[in-house]
């Protein structure tokens, strides 16, 4: 298997000194509802600003009922203003002097975020939302946004706290891994942390049972081939990134369960979207929804293809 050309997907920066800020600037859109999940999204972005240069827009969306076309929202408008003002103050405390743009809008949250995401490099949302402002969205909100947004989406678990763990990345051992690996390597370099590649080998349901018992050579051969391919990829990445600690984990298991297990305590779990590999199939099934409803750590969902550059304009009022 050809190893992905990581440098061809995203420019890999040289090693940074401790506490030196990433020289690139990210345009970040944060959605907050005033609940615990929205608060976690804000705290995650504030923590990220310590080592990344961020141009931040903070938005709160008051849902409009699809039947009555009412927002029930004049009484919620003040609550929304409080939510974005609180988030702005927290972000300013982490990045004094920053220009944090805020806005409260009425409408369908998913549609609004999908449209605005084209103007940003990163969309940050919380999981397990508890605020009244987006109560109509239900628990599938983060899944739907992550699947359809036009930029990288980070889903932050409720009650998130910073971790010193590795950057974990789910890979399918195919060309769709390029952008996912590039993103994970870049994050690990900025954070001065290790990278853990996780490849889940999922056999078809009809695979002969004898292979899993060790009585036949088929299973062993498949595992050996995948192990060899993963070892080659890890060796290639180590050669390109001598300043990073990189390891590979092969799991003969359900992809979602493997990623949840390996990402426990991680700084971030990086996965791709709209890919066809075994690892990424979890992302459109029931396991993915369970992971994004209850993420073990912040999950970065990276677009499989290069998005258009974020426009210089802001998505919110100034």
Q: What is the 3-state secondary structure (H, E, C) of 214-263?
A: CCCHHHHHHHHHHHHHHHHHHHHHHHHCCCCCEEEEEECCCHHHHHHHHC
Q: How confident is the model at residue 213 (pLDDT cuts 50, 70, 90)?
A: very low
Q: For residue 10, what pLDDT band results from cuts at 50, 70 and 90?
A: very low
Length of the chain: 318
Mean pLDDT of the 124-150 span? 65
Q: What whole-number distance in Å separates Cα of residue 125 and Cα of residue 122?
A: 10
Parallel/antiparallel/unpaired status of strands 101-106 and 167-171: unpaired
Does the pLDDT value for residue 118 go beyond 60? yes
The residue-averaged pLDDT of 205-211 equals: 55
> Whole-model pTM above 0.85?
no
Which architecture, in CATH terms, is 162-302?
A: 3-Layer(aba) Sandwich (3.40)
Q: Which of 219, 165, 173 is nearest to 200 (CA)?
A: 173
Q: How far apart are CA 197 and CA 252, in angstroms?
A: 14
CATH code for the part of the protein at 22-156: 3.40.50.620
Looking only at the bridges linking them, the beta strands covering 152-156 and 299-302 are antiparallel
Confidence of residue 175 (pLDDT cuts 50, 70, 90): confident
Confidence of residue 257 (pLDDT cuts 50, 70, 90): confident
Which whole number is the average pLDDT over 219-242? Answer: 94
- Distance (Å, whole) CA 135 – CA 131: 6
* pLDDT beyond 80 at 67: no
Quickly state the pLDDT bin for 69 (edges 50, 70, 90).
low
pLDDT of 185 higher than 80: yes
Binning pLDDT at 50, 70 and 90, where does residue 60 land?
very high
Q: Which of 169-178, 193-202, 262-271, 274-283 has the lowest mean pLDDT?
A: 274-283
Rounded Cα gap, residues 313 and 117, in angstroms: 12
Question: What's the CA gap between 116 and 111, in Å, rounded?
Answer: 9
Q: What count of other Cβ atoms lies within 10 Å of the Cβ of residue 161?
A: 9
Least confident of 114-118, 130-134, 241-245: 130-134
Q: Which residues contact 51 (CB under 8 A, 6 or more apart)?
A: 19, 20, 21, 22, 190, 191
**Strand 246-251 to strand 195-200: parallel, antiparallel, or no bridges (unpaired)?**
parallel
Residues 176, 278, 153, CA angle at the centre, nearest 5°?
A: 55
Common-topology check for domains 22-156 and 162-302: yes
Residues 6+ apart with CB under 8 A from 302: 152, 179, 180, 183, 270, 271, 272, 273
d(CA 120, CA 237) in angstroms, rounded, equals 28
Domains of the chain, residue spans: 22-156, 162-302
62, 73 Cβ separation under 8 angstroms: yes
């Amino acid at each position: 298997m050809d190893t992905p050309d990581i440098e061809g997907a995203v420019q890999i920066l040289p090693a940074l000194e401790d506490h030196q800020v990433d020289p690139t600037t990210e345009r970040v859109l944060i959605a907050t509802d005033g609940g615990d999940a929205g608060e976690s999204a804000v705290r995650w972005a504030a923590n990220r600003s310590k080592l990344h240069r961020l141009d931040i827009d903070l938005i709160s969306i008051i849902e409009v009922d699809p039947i009555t076309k009412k927002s029930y929202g004049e009484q919620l408008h003040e609550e929304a203003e409080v939510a974005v003002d609180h988030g702005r103050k927290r972000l300013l405390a982490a990045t004094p002097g920053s220009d944090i743009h805020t806005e409260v809008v009425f409408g369908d949250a998913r549609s609004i975020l999908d449209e605005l995401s084209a103007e940003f490099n990163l969309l940050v949302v919380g999981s397990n939302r508890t605020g009244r402002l987006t109560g109509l969205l239900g628990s599938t909100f983060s899944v739907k946004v992550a699947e359809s947004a036009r930029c990288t989406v980070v889903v932050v678990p409720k009650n998130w706290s910073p971790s010193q763990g590795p950057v974990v990345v789910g890979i399918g051992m195919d060309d769709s891994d390029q952008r996912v690996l590039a993103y994970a390597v870049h994050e690990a370099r900025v954070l001065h942390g290790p990278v853990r590649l996780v490849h889940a080998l999922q056999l078809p349901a009809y695979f002969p049972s004898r292979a899993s018992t060790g009585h036949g050579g088929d299973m062993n051969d498949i595992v050996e081939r995948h192990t060899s391919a993963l070892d080659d990829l890890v060796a290639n990445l180590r050669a390109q990134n001598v300043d990073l600690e990189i390891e590979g984990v092969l799991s003969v298991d359900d992809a979602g369960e493997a990623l949840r297990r390996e990402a426990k305590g991680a700084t971030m779990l990086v996965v791709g979207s709209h890919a066809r590999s075994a690892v990424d199939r979890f992302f459109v099934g029931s396991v993915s929804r369970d992971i994004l409803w209850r993420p073990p750590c912040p999950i970065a969902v990276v677009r499989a293809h290069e998005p258009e550059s974020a426009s210089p304009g802001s998505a919110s009022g100034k």
